[in-house]
Amino acid sequence: MFPEHRPRRLRTTPAMRRLVGETTLRPRQLILPMFVAEGADAPRPIASMPGVVQHTRESLRKAAVDAVNAGVGGLMLFGIPKTRDAAGSGAVDPDGILNVALRDLRSELGDATVLMADTCLDEFTDHGHCGVLDADGAVDNDATLRVYAEMAIAQAEAGAHVLGPSGMMDGQIGVIRRALDEVGLSSTGILAYSAKYASAFYGPFREAVDSQLKGDRKTYQQDSGNAREALREIELDLAEGADMVMVKPALSYLDIVKAAAEISPVPVAAYNISGEYAMVEAAAANGWLDRERTVLEVLTSIRRAGADLILTYWAAEAAAWLD
Ligand code: PBG
């Protein structure tokens, strides 16, 4: 008798496929990144990210509640200030847009979701880098750490449950952990953007936050060809006190996600970033891809690689589909 082995038996009906499915994708595993713009009087569309907007404080509240009702596991907030300076002072100001919006959402949602904040200066600096610059115009690691410590306290005090340091400065997790603990904010968690690559796929995000960056971030974000370096970054962040670690971007780095999942004793997140979103949206808008099927396949593949959590602009919509 040939064929002797028939794996297709386990694919015969939807019920059979459901029974033997290896990978789960649940709404609680999805985190929705959201943008809020200071002084905006109406939500502003982001052209390269169809369906994503820069929110006003009011529209943010409403969209956040809707996302939580759809079942997402958490929200990750980014602020777009009206004015920027070299020091990124809007980031540490309790009245800065990101901190104000955190307070809005915490008072609206309490502990009904996990509220996260991007702990990074690039939205707040007039040069667009993730840190402050030294006299030669290079990103000054240790001077930046001092600002991150202050920014972290401001965000935690404003109501963030979890901080997401995304600037790839050496020592950022340790400095933030210590700063929080020193002022009694020891229950605020840290989701470390541990392995973050200098990626062309961040393109649409630059539009989303009106980035002022000229040049690139290659002195702090990793080269795309490096894998071993990612594991070192993850180990350092764990040693410094990270509660969760992240790999970013997701799709071109699924091998890194898998390697991270193999060594990490804490939850691993992957960020399905703006360019990954834009590619699918553009192709779907042209009728070249089936949007819903493609999105679910993308998210499932990130889970299959080993990510416990996925940051994705599709979080609320996908949560509704999965429900
Ligand atoms: C830095 C930050 C970036 C993203 C998240 N946090 C931009 C960058 O590093 O250039 C990108 C997210 C995306 O592309 O969806 N604050």
What DSSP assignment string belongs to 167-188? Answer: S--TTHHHHHHHHHHHTT-TT-
pLDDT at 300 over 90: yes
The dotted CATH code for 25-322 is 3.20.20.70
Q: How far is the CA of 2 from the centre of ligand 1 (A)?
A: 53
* Average pLDDT of the segment spanning 280-301: 98
Q: What pLDDT is attached to residue 194?
A: 97
Q: What pLDDT is attached to residue 32?
A: 99
pLDDT at 323 over 90: no
- The two three-digit tokens of residue 125, written as one number: 């600096």
Catalytic status, residue 196: yes
169-181 per-position pLDDT tens digit: 999 999 999 999 9
What is the separation, in whole angstroms, between the first and last Cα of the chain?
Answer: 43
pTM for this model (two decimals) = 0.98
| Pocket perturbation via mutation, ligand 1, pick of 120, 201, 277, 279 by most ligand atoms within 8 A of CB | 120
* Average pLDDT of the segment spanning 104-116: 98
- ipTM for the predicted complex comes to 0.97
Q: What pLDDT is attached to residue 257?
A: 98
CA separation (Å) from 81 to 1, 38, 125, 161, 212?
70, 5, 10, 22, 12
List all residues whose CB is within 6 A of at least one atom of ligand 1.
118, 120, 122, 130, 166, 202, 205, 217, 273-274
Confidence of residue 230 (pLDDT cuts 50, 70, 90): very high
Report the C-alpha gap between 308 and 29 in whole angstroms. Answer: 7
Average pLDDT of the chain is: 98
2-12 per-position pLDDT tens digit: 999 999 999 99
* Average pLDDT of the segment spanning 197-226: 96
Q: What pLDDT is attached to residue 243?
A: 98
Q: How far is the CA of 193 from the centre of ligand 1 (A)?
A: 10
31-79 per-position pLDDT tens digit: 999 999 999 999 999 999 999 999 999 999 999 999 999 999 999 999 9
Q: Which residues contact 257 (CB under 8 A, 6 or more apart)?
A: 247, 250, 268, 270, 302, 305, 306, 307
Report the C-alpha gap between 194 and 279 in whole angstroms. Answer: 25
- The two three-digit tokens of residue 89, written as one number: 């002072």
Report the C-alpha gap between 155 and 102 in whole angstroms. Answer: 7
What is the CB neighbour count within 10 angstroms for residue 322? Answer: 17
Q: Which residues contact 250 (CB under 8 A, 6 or more apart)?
A: 257, 270, 271, 272, 273, 276, 302, 307, 310
Which of 82, 196, 214, 258 is labelled catalytic? 196
